[in-house]
Amino acid sequence: MDEKRLLEVKDLKVHFFTDDGVVKAVDGVSFHIDKGETLAVVGESGSGKSVTSLAIMRLIPNPPGRIVGGEMLFRGKDGQVKDLVKQDEASMRKIRGNDIAMIFQEPMTSLNPVYTVGDQIAEAIMLHQGKSRKEALELSAEMLDLVGIPEPRKRLSNYPHQMSGGMRQRVMIAMALSCNPSLLIADEPTTALDVTIQAQILELMYKLQEEIGMSILFITHNLGVVAEMADRVVVMYAGRAVEEADVTATFKRSKHPYTMGLLNSVPRLDLAAEHRQRLEAIPGNVPNPLHLPAGCAFHPRCKYFQEGRCNTDIPELQDTGGGHMVRCVRWAEIQSELEVKA
């Protein structure tokens, strides 16, 4: 694996074996994250973005879920490259929290209500760094200070319910960063928060990344957040990556009809009212994962659909130049069609 690579996911497949059939939640997803980089994975509900992040942590509930194929090469703090798919539970325990940490959407349900905030942060430090409880609590206070919680020493003895949503998310971040992970997975970390609090948390994550230098895998459906946080973007639809590019290319020169549709369906505050048109909604619904459409899963909702080409074979992810990957058989034609229009 390349020196600067931290994680390389190759052809990951996560399937859920339910009574109604097999749900291919993630079906052949590949991407990589470099050291210090922020990669955003964007998608709507059912796209497989959260399952991807849980798979990296090896937290897929089994049964019914199972990683049925692929590789996840990860460079640990010791410099060794391991395939996360092949690690046993004992080895994963050493990696979780220590090398890879995760923060979740709902800061209330991901903290234990019957333990103090201090105890919860200290737990990971004692486990991974072999520190005494006293040392660990001291470090916990430093972490709370780092994430901008006032009077950190006093706050150690607080219970989660004594804190606001924004504060709890800060505690989650403190806990996640307490062991200096090289990868932070943030699964919709600001979705449950108000915009002014979201702005605080995003600023904090940005600042901490500058200071600590960890890589971030940012899972979100909010395109505004992506534009502000990400270096590169992977767009997912129905269990597959449909487009991958750097952040500017994603927003300015998107090539997949789904990405274009997604960008057009967001109301934009920054466009003057006079220039605004009716929102261009993507028709139809996200497909049922048990009965995915044949060929390109997006074809029933796509305005560039062509009979016999889009609904026969699953398109390959193609490199269109400069690492801009697109999974669409018609991307080049659509591109020239759009150029003619412009």
Partner 1 sequence: MSMPTPTAVATSLVEVQNLKKWFPIRGGILSRVVANVKAVNDVSFDVKRGEVLGLVGESGSGKTTVGRTVLRLIEPTSGTIRFDGHDITHLPKPQLRAYRRKMQIIFQDPFASLNPRMTVGDIIAEPLVIHNLEGSAQARTERVAELLQMVGLNPDHIRRYPHEFSGGQRQRIGIARALAVRPEFIVADEPVSALDVSIQAQVVNLLQDLKEQLGLTILFIAHDLAVVEYISDRIAVMYLGKVMELASSKDLYRSPKHPYTEALLSAIPVPDPTVKRERIVLQGDIPSPINPPSGCVFRTRCRYAIKECAEVVPELREVAPGHFKACIRDDIL
Nearest distance from C-beta of residue 217 to partner 1, angstroms: 18
The total number of residues shown for the chain amounts to 342
Q: Which of 91, 129, 180, 222 binds partner 1 (CB under 8 A)?
A: 222
> In the window 7-66, what residues touch partner 1 (CB under 8 A)?
44-45
Nearest distance from C-beta of residue 254 to partner 1, angstroms: 11
In angstroms, the CA 103 to CA 51 distance is 14
Name the residue nearer to partner 1 (CB basis): 164 or 336: 164
Name the residue nearer to partner 1 (CB basis): 47 or 53: 47
Q: Which of 276, 290, 294, 306 binds partner 1 (CB under 8 A)?
A: 276
Q: Which of 92, 197, 292, 314 binds partner 1 (CB under 8 A)?
A: 197
Q: Which of 226, 310, 325, 328 binds partner 1 (CB under 8 A)?
A: 226
Phi, psi values for residue 45, rounded to 5°: -60, 140
8 A C-beta contact, residue 40 and residue 21: no
Name the residue nearer to partner 1 (CB basis): 56 or 238: 238
Q: Which of 261, 289, 295, 315 binds partner 1 (CB under 8 A)?
A: 261
DSSP 293: P
Note whether 224 binds partner 1 by CB under 8 A.
yes
DSSP notation for 203-248: HHHHHHHHHH--EEEEEES-HHHHHHH-SEEEEEETTEEEEEEEHH
Nearest distance from C-beta of residue 335 to partner 1, angstroms: 20
Nearest distance from C-beta of residue 267 to partner 1, angstroms: 4
Note whether 161 binds partner 1 by CB under 8 A.
no
Name the residue nearer to partner 1 (CB basis): 115 or 251: 251
Q: Which of 90, 114, 269, 340 binds partner 1 (CB under 8 A)?
A: 269
DSSP 37: -
8 A C-beta contact, residue 230 and residue 218: yes
Measured CA to CA in angstroms, residue 113 lies from 125, 130, 154, 165 at distances of 19, 25, 18, 13
In angstroms, the CA 275 to CA 46 distance is 33
Nearest partner of 169 among 204, 138, 214, 131, judged by Cα: 204
Note whether 109 binds partner 1 by CB under 8 A.
no
Q: Per residue in 257-268, is it b (16+ CB within 10 Å) or e — as a string?
A: bbbbbbbeeeee
Q: Which of 265, 306, 312, 336 binds partner 1 (CB under 8 A)?
A: 265
Q: In the complex, which residues of this chain contact partner 1 (CB under 8 A)?
A: 44-45, 164, 166-167, 194-200, 202-203, 221-228, 230, 247-248, 251-252, 261-270, 273, 276-283, 285-286
